[in-house]
A = this chain, B = another copy of it.
Amino acid sequence: MTKVDVTTMIRAKMREKTITWAAIAEAAGLSEVFVTSACLGMNSLLPDAAGKVVDFLDLPAEAAVVLSEYPTKDFPRTVPTDPCIYRWYEITGVFGEAFKELVQEKFGDGIMSAIDFDMEVNRVAHEKGDRVQVVMSGKFLPYKSW
């Protein structure tokens, strides 16, 4: 049983019982973004959280072992094609340098960690049309001299 198998089982249960990612995340006791990414095979759940997901969705016990294994994060190299994901790639291209300038101005030479990192996706009501809000937070990691 692989992470791909478990993702397929989770999606099947979601369709069959009309379960949302929000509900799975609540069952796991963790955030939506993290749990969704783990269920898609891009992060590992701790055994306790994996067990809760498996119980909630009524999956075989082995699925909890697989969910807690450490993944190889393999994503398409170069440019994504789905418009929803591409727009984020475009934002990286258009605002990447400005982001770097401001991080350096506010913190010094270094980066925002993508490992000690969290993210949430919210729906924000707006009179001209609701908006997708993304809040990301990563620890600042300074370059060091040695």
Q: Which residues of B contact A101 (CB under 8 A)?
A: 21, 36, 40
Q: Which residues of B contact A110 (CB under 8 A)?
A: 84, 115
Q: Which residues of B contact A32 (CB under 8 A)?
A: 102
Quick check: B90 and A118 within 8 Å, CB to CB?
no
Chain A residues 6 to 23 lying within 8 A of chain B, measured CB to CB, are 15, 20-22
Query: Which of chain B's residues has its CB closest to A118's CB?
Result: B146
Quick check: A65 and B15 within 8 Å, CB to CB?
yes
Chain A residues 51 to 94 lying within 8 A of chain B, measured CB to CB, are 65, 70, 72-94
Quick check: A134 and B136 within 8 Å, CB to CB?
yes
Q: How far is the CA of A104 from the CA of B82 in the complex (A)?
A: 13
State which of B82, B87, B106, B112 has its C-beta within 8 Å of the C-beta of A113: B87
Query: Which of chain B's residues has its CB closest to A109's CB?
Result: B70
Can you spell out 15 A-B residue pairs with CB atoms less than 8 angstroms apart? A34-B146, A36-B102, A78-B78, A84-B104, A85-B92, A87-B111, A88-B96, A107-B130, A112-B131, A115-B144, A130-B139, A131-B138, A131-B140, A132-B140, A133-B136
A-B CB proximity, top 3 nearest: A75-B93, A112-B132, A36-B98
Give 10 new A-B contacts, CB below 8 A, not counting A33-B95, A34-B145, A42-B98. Answer: A30-B146, A45-B145, A73-B94, A81-B93, A84-B110, A85-B99, A85-B100, A92-B92, A111-B115, A133-B135
